[in-house]
């Protein structure tokens, strides 16, 4: 799987703006803002959900009302697409985090005013 991800990253740089692999569920795109290739794999989210069922339903698949799987350190900020970098987050908290994490300033912390 790791070799396939590396291949997706290399190919992704050459075939931008994005490339997908049906076999792994991985999608790669190049972020011009952050000057890096971002790879997201649905298989990693599935693995996270096996280890951490939905807080609302207790299920490892299907909808999870009011919750989303969040990358603790955003992929765009250099965080790994790995279950160890994922957490359940309420949709309200996710919307708030999306407003401040875009600049990658504090990686996983809100900006200080």
Confidence of residue 66 (pLDDT cuts 50, 70, 90): very high
Query: Does 106 reside within a domain?
Result: no
| Residue positions counted in the chain | 113
Q: Residue 9: what pLDDT?
A: 44
Domain of residue 96, residue span: 2-101
Q: Residue 19: what pLDDT?
A: 59
Spatial contact of 53 and 60, defined as CB atoms under 8 Å apart: yes
pLDDT at 57 > cutoff 70: yes
Query: Does 23 reside within a domain?
Result: yes
Domain count, the chain: 1
**Range with lowest mean pLDDT among 15-19, 29-33, 35-39, 96-100:** 15-19
Query: Does 107 reside within a domain?
Result: no
Query: Does 113 reside within a domain?
Result: no
Query: Does 86 reside within a domain?
Result: yes
pLDDT at 42 > cutoff 50: yes
Query: Does 108 reside within a domain?
Result: no
**Which among 88, 78, 89, 26 has a CA at the least distance from the CA of 51?**
88
Query: Does 110 reside within a domain?
Result: no
Query: Does 112 reside within a domain?
Result: no
């Amino acid at each position: 799987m790791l070799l396939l991800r590396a291949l997706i990253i290399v190919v992704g740089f050459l075939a931008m703006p994005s490339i997908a692999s049906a076999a792994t569920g991985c999608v790669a795109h190049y972020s011009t803002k952050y000057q890096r290739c971002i790879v997201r794999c649905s298989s990693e989210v599935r693995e996270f959900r096996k280890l951490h069922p939905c807080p609302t339903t207790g299920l490892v698949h299907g909808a999870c009302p009011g919750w989303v799987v969040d990358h603790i350190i955003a992929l765009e900020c250099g965080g790994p697409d790995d279950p160890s970098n994922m957490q359940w987050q309420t949709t309200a908290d996710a919307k708030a985090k999306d407003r401040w994490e875009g600049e990658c300033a504090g990686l996983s912390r809100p900006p200080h005013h």
